[in-house]
Amino acid sequence: MTAQTDISGPLTTVYRVSGMSCGHCEGSVSGEISGIAGVSSVTAVASTGEVTVVSAAPLDDEAVRAAVDEAGFELVGKA
């Protein structure tokens, strides 16, 4: 019998995004990232440049980068 490592419960990842300055910016970034499969919630905060993403599994960084780019902003990296 082999041991399995299951990640139970949601995974929270915080990303740094540059260029957000208002609530509309937060909504644009949140909306695009929400479209990634497995994402259950997104909270973007323009004043800190942080975007907190809750997902069922680790996300592909390039998928997150593409979503942020589509919203018109730049993914700096993980916080």
Residues 6+ apart with CB under 8 A from 11: 54, 55, 56, 57, 58
CATH of region 11-78? 3.30.70.100
The residue ranking higher by pLDDT, 7 or 51, is 51
Phi-psi region of 19 (alpha: psi -120 to 50; beta: other; left: phi over 0): left
- The pLDDT value recorded for residue 63 is 98
**What is the C-alpha separation between 50 and 57, in angstroms, rounded?**
20
Q: Is 3's pLDDT higher than 60? A: no
What residue ranges do the domains of the chain occupy? 11-78
- The pLDDT value recorded for residue 5 is 54
The tens digit of pLDDT for each residue in 37-67 reads 999 999 999 999 999 999 999 999 999 999 9
- The pLDDT value recorded for residue 52 is 98
pLDDT (mean) for 16-29: 98
